Amino acid sequence: MWNMTERQKMISGQLYKSGVKELVNDRMLCKEQCYDFNALRPSQTEEQTAMIKKIFGKVGSNCFITAPFWCDYGYNIEAGDNFYANHNLIILDCAKVTFGNNVFIAPDCGFYTAGHPVDAASRNEGWEYAYPINVGNDVWIGGGVKVMPGVTIGNNVVIGGGSVVVKDIPDNSIAVGNPCKVIKKIESGKAREYNIEEKHI
């Protein structure tokens, strides 16, 4: 344990210090790559796709992000097939952030694996922690949603706009609020009903 690097501690969910040279360099490289991505013209879709593949640890087919986009490390992000994120996506990927297939993310969303100790003395010494975030298949994240450290969002889930997700959300759910809670189960074969009924999500 004592021979672990701060990067290894970070990824494994232990307390670590982000100010070490290794992690500072990792973040700087990622920020430079995000800057380059955000500087591309909207019509440069092939270049955008190539840059996201360079930033992310793993990318499926048909992955598209509308700039601007920012993340901390990039190599801790994995996205499945048919991934789309609208403007102003922020991913603090100190731990792994995994998206399944067919994930759609509205504008101004954030996925935050990073946290700090409640104890002020430890926090002021620079200690941090990070817990992974997992998002399943067939998920729609509404505008302005914030997902907190350690959360798992199941398959076939809709998260209503403005929600703050602090606990796991089970499969086949519509969830909304701060803190985000399940308000309805999604029943198979009733998709058209939800399209009309949940129009304000």
Which amino acids are annotated catalytic?
A: 116
Exposure on the CB side of residue 78, measured as CA atoms within 13 A: 12
User: Exposed, middle or buried: residue 160 (CB in 10 Å: 0-12, 13-18, 19+)?
Assistant: buried
Q: Is 68 helix (H, G, I), strand (E, B) or coil?
A: coil
- Amino acid (1-letter code) at residue 110: G
Please state the φ and ψ torsions of residue 161, each to the nearest 5 degrees: -55, 140
∠ CA 182-76-39, rounded to 5°: 100
Rounded to a whole number of angstroms, the CA Rg of the chain reads: 18
